[in-house]
């Protein structure tokens, strides 16, 4: 099967290494990733390592209040769009 497309110009299909070589740049050296030390594992004696965080009740209340406000806004907008002539 012959390819009827014109031959690439200006390194269109060249790999990044070939492009750097054509530009006269040195090969790109990639530093090896630093070895990650494994995280220490706490002994499993059934005790929690940190006390649980206290729950913020106002945060939950505010979330539900904003969700309710959004729901009311959407419902009222839907109702007003059903009756467009008077509005």
Tell me the pLDDT tens digit for each residue of 31-68: 767 777 666 666 665 555 677 777 788 889 999 999 99
Using alpha carbons only, what angle is made at residue 76 by residues 72 and 77, rounded to the nearest 5 degrees?
Answer: 115
- Please say if the pLDDT value at position 11 is more than 60: no
C-alpha–C-alpha distance, residues 18 and 25, integer Å: 10
Measured CA to CA, the distance from residue 24 to residue 45 in angstroms comes to 62
Identify the band that residue 72 occupies on the pLDDT scale cut at 50, 70 and 90.
Answer: very high
Q: How far apart are CA 58 and CA 30, in angstroms?
A: 50
- Whole-prediction pTM: 0.37
DSSP H helices, 5-56, are 16-22
């Amino acid at each position: 099967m012959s390819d009827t497309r014109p031959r690439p110009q200006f390194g269109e299909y060249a790999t990044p290494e070939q492009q750097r070589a054509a530009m006269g740049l040195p090969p790109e050296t990639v530093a090896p990733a630093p070895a990650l030390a494994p995280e220490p594992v706490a002994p499993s004696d059934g005790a929690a390592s940190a006390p649980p965080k206290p729950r913020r009740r106002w945060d939950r209340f505010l979330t539900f209040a904003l969700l309710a406000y959004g729901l009311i806004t959407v419902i009222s907008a839907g109702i007003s769009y059903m009756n467009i002539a008077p509005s």
